[in-house]
Amino acid sequence: MSALTVEDAGTDLGPGLGPAPHRPQSLLLSFLGALVLDSPLPPLPSMILLDLLADLGVSEAAARATLKRMTQRGLLARGQVGRTAEYALTEHAESVLRQARDRVASPAPFEHPDGEWTLLSYSVPESRRDLRHRVRARLTWAGFGGLRDGLWIAPGTVDVATVLGRSDLADAAGLADAFAARPLPGTDLDRLVHRAWDVPAVREAHGWFIGTWSRPPRVSGSLAQLTLLGADWLSLLRTDPGLPAAHLGEDWPAGTSAAVYRRVFDALEPAARAALERSLRATGRFA
């Protein structure tokens, strides 16, 4: 099974430009996590997913290729009703999305207990570049920044066993050592934070998110808007692991970003859910 998951299916932030275009997989994972996970909805006809991606600027060919890849990767289960293909979440996808939801839906996703840090040291052979990429993606999503080759640090106390406990990372789990840490007197935490993370880029990412979602959305339709909001939010959560605001100035914007996301999500979610249910009723799949 491929290692594609929420933490490595999104975008990178380009300097001064906001996020690069979201990958179709990231858009679908945002949609599925917000409206399909743990809901009573039936499998979704392919046309609903294709129409959603079309509203977000994804061509039909790219959308169909995305559905095929996600099925091959064990994230979607494909069924057939007559001539209509339909898709449902697999158990693997549900597990991935539930893990992400803990932070996505947190009222304070950028906050950690003051003074707590996690240090992790690992060594992956050069011959295992595929494993190294998966480990780096997973650690970045979990909030780690690199201090030097093989040594990573994250704010708060991270459950490393869970972070590296996925089956596709089993080889790496045996190559990693983790420690709960507190800084000793004399440690320059301001310098450490700026060394492990690109703090100006993180601030810029917050500013882009706040500015973008404080104005009217970039796409029409509540379903597309909610999907794009979630993809942008996931991108920001990958960028800022919860850097300690005490070392970043009184105007650090993380709290504002969280408030903007929650306000916009709460405003969009009822209409988006209603729109999805109307589309399903139109296909005869939902009573």
**Residue 37 reports pLDDT greater than 50:** yes
- Size (the chain), residues: 287
Number of domains making up the chain: 2
Share of the chain above pLDDT 70, in %: 88
**Residue 177 reports pLDDT greater than 70:** yes
| Whether residue 29 is found in the same domain as residue 149 | no
For residue 260, count CB atoms less than 10 angstroms from its CB and return exposed for 0-12, middle for 13-18, buried for 19 or more: buried
| Whether residue 221 is found in the same domain as residue 285 | yes
Last residue of a domain, one of 134, 153, 182: 182
| Whether residue 78 is found in the same domain as residue 127 | no
* Residue 187, in any domain of the structure: no
Tokens at residue 273, please? 């859910």
* Residue 190, in any domain of the structure: no
| Whether residue 62 is found in the same domain as residue 168 | no
**Residue 4 reports pLDDT greater than 60:** no
Annotate 137-199 with three-state secondary structure.
Answer: HHHHHCCCEEEECCEEEEECCCCHHHHCCCHHHHHHHCCEEEEEECCCCCCCHHHHHHHHCCH
| Whether residue 103 is found in the same domain as residue 215 | yes
Tokens at residue 184, please? 């000793």
Measure Cα distances from 41 to 33, 87, 147, 230 in Å.
13, 11, 45, 20
Q: How far is CA 230 from the centre of its chain?
A: 8
**In the chain, where do the E strands start and end?**
13-14, 18-19, 44-45, 76-81, 84-89, 117-122, 145-148, 151-155, 176-181
What pLDDT was estimated at residue 237? 92
Instruction: Give which of 258, 231, 166, 135 is closest to 144, Cα–Cα.
Output: 135
Domain that holds residue 278: 1-111+197-287
Rank 64-73, 152-161, 215-224 by mean pLDDT and report only the highest: 64-73
| Whether residue 257 is found in the same domain as residue 235 | yes
| Whether residue 127 is found in the same domain as residue 162 | yes
Share of the chain above pLDDT 90, in %: 50
| Whether residue 20 is found in the same domain as residue 143 | no
**Residue 217 reports pLDDT greater than 80:** no
* Residue 191, in any domain of the structure: no
**Residue 8 reports pLDDT greater than 60:** no
**Per-residue pLDDT band at 174 (split at 50, 70, 90):** low
| Whether residue 234 is found in the same domain as residue 269 | yes
The CATH number given to whatever domain includes residue 10 is 1.10.10.10
* Residue 204, in any domain of the structure: yes
Strand partners, 89: 76
Q: Give the residue with greater pLDDT, 247 vs 274.
A: 274
What number is the average pLDDT over the span 177-197?
87
* Residue 238, in any domain of the structure: yes
* Residue 258, in any domain of the structure: yes
Q: Give the residue with greater pLDDT, 142 vs 173.
A: 142
Tokens at residue 11, please? 């975008």
Tens of pLDDT along 116-148?
Answer: 899 988 877 777 777 777 788 888 888 898 888
* Residue 188, in any domain of the structure: no
| Whether residue 89 is found in the same domain as residue 201 | yes
| Whether residue 99 is found in the same domain as residue 169 | no
Q: Give the residue with greater pLDDT, 249 vs 78.
A: 78
What pLDDT was estimated at residue 19? 60
